[in-house]
Every structure is written in C-alpha cells, then in structure tokens.
C-alpha cells in the first residue's frame, strides 16, 4: 500500500508541520475604524519571527497601543499621523490624499481590511495616477492595479531590505528559515520520487500518466490538475 503523500501528512497535522509558538502573534493591521484621526509616537521596535521586516510599537494620544510595520529611517520618539494629511514617515493616509511619486507600503486591497499589499522587507509601491474610478498603484512586481481611493497605506519603504543579500552558505540555515515561517523545505518534485511515495514517481523523470485528476479521486491519487477543464498550451 503506498504511503501518504506529503500534503496528506501536512493536512493531518503533527509536530513536524506545526508552526513555532508565537510566530504570527504580532498584528500589524490598521484599525477597522477608517474615519478615526489620531497621533502616535514610536516607543520601540520588535523583531517578529513571522515577519521579514521589523515592527514598531506605537502609543497614541488616547493611550491605546498598536504595532505597525516600520519604514526605513524611523526612530524611537518620532510621530506618526493616522487620518491626517501629513506626509511624515510611517503615517497612514488614504490613497486619494497621497500624491504621485511618494513610496507607500502596507496597502489595503479593500477599504477597511487593515493592509494586505506590499508588506515584505525592502518593498514599496507608487501611485501612478488619480482618476474618477480610483487610484492606480504600481506594485513591486511592476504590475499596476486600480484601488479604491479610500484604501489606506503607510508612507515610506518597508525597513529590513537586503536581509537576503548575505549568503546562506549552508542548506541547514535555509531549512530553519523556512521552518520558522511554517513552510517545508526542501520540496522534491513528484517525478523524482518512488512510486510508493507519489503517483507520478518511478517513471524516469516523467509522469507516466495523465496529470488530470478527478475531483472524486481518493486522497492518495489527487495530485496534478484536479478537475481541470483542459490542460496544455492553447493553440
């Protein structure tokens, strides 16, 4: 009887595939109240395992606290403005209030979702145009997407850029980096495995059977293109 596939073992859950404790505990999203205006002060920085960029602790005028992604160049004691039309580093503004050419990050995809785009260390986006339908934002991938003008973003570039420039040297270091982010590494291709480990294995580096799989297939066979309408290049 063939062994369970890796995705089956991961889905079942065990200590091997379980995330480290307190990995993703830091909440770096904006508050759901979009109309609130407040001024905060940076009180410190936190190194979160689940984030590539440093996180700054902010205390506001009403004595509430939160955590946000830190931009490059900010320091303890700096002021950030939420809701005000102030173009200081790390402030949170609506896209309709941000002029073109200013780097932004931690952008909301939909108004009120707390920030989902451009959050990796060293990344930033730019506003290319304002129009009647919204705002055009150029992402780090060079793609330009339209967003609602009421979506919020932070000003600046995410700090921590260049953290991958230092060579890893050993495979073990890369393994522990992925393990801290709850990812498995390395990942072998199915055609490189034995037939007992994967349905595509044991055929000298090619699948040996169709990669289309029925949606009602048993879990040990459900790999490849599941319930696909078509495969291959369009002619």
Q: In what order do the strands lie in the sheet with 38-46?
A: 65-69, 55-60, 38-46, 79-82, 92-94, 152-155, 104-105
Q: What are the domain boundaries of the chain?
A: 1-17+184-235, 38-155
Run of H or E residues at 173: helix 171-180
pLDDT truncated to tens, each residue of the chain (235 aa)? 578 898 888 888 888 888 888 888 888 988 777 677 899 999 999 888 888 899 999 999 888 899 999 999 999 999 999 988 889 999 999 999 999 989 999 999 999 888 999 999 999 999 999 988 889 999 999 999 999 999 999 999 999 988 888 899 999 999 888 888 888 888 889 999 998 889 999 888 888 888 999 999 988 889 999 999 988 888 7
Topology annotation, domain 1-17+184-235: Ribosomal protein L2; domain 3 (4.10.950)
pTM value is: 0.79
Instruction: Tell me what pLDDT residue 1 has.
Output: 55
Rounded distance, CA 44 to CA 185, Å?
33
Gap between the terminal Cα atoms of the chain:
40
Q: Which fold does the domain 38-155 belong to in CATH?
A: SH3 type barrels. (2.30.30)
Helix (H) or strand (E) holding 178: helix 171-180
81 DSSP β-pair partners: 39
Cβ-based neighbour number of residue 68 at 10 Å: 24
């Amino acid at each position: 009887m063939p062994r369970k596939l890796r995705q089956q073992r991961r889905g079942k859950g065990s200590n091997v595939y379980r995330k480290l404790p307190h990995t993703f505990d830091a909440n770096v999203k904006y508050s759901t109240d979009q109309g609130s205006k407040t001024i905060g002060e940076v009180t410190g920085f936190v190194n979160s395992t689940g984030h590539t960029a440093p996180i700054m602790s902010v205390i506001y005028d009403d004595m509430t606290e939160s955590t946000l992604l830190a931009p490059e160049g900010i320091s303890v004691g700096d002021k950030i403005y939420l809701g005000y039309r102030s173009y200081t580093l790390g402030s949170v503004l609506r896209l309709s209030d941000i002029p073109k050419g200013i780097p932004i990050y931690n952008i909301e995809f939909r108004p009120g979702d707390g920030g989902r785009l451009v959050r990796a260390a060293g990344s930033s986006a730019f506003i290319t145009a304002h129009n009647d339908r919204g705002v055009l934002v150029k992402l780090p991938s060079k793609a330009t997407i339209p967003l609602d003008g009421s979506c919020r973003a932070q000003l600046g570039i995410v700090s921590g850029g260049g953290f991958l420039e230092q060579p890893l040297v050993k495979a073990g270091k890369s393994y522990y980096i992925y393990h801290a982010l709850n990812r498995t590494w390395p990942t072998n291709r199915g055609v490189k495995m034995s037939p007992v480990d994967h349905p595509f294995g044991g055929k000298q580096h090619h699948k040996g059977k169709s990669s289309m799989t029925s949606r009602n297939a048993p879990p040990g066979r459900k790999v490849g293109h599941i319930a696909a309408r078509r495969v291959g290049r369009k002619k």
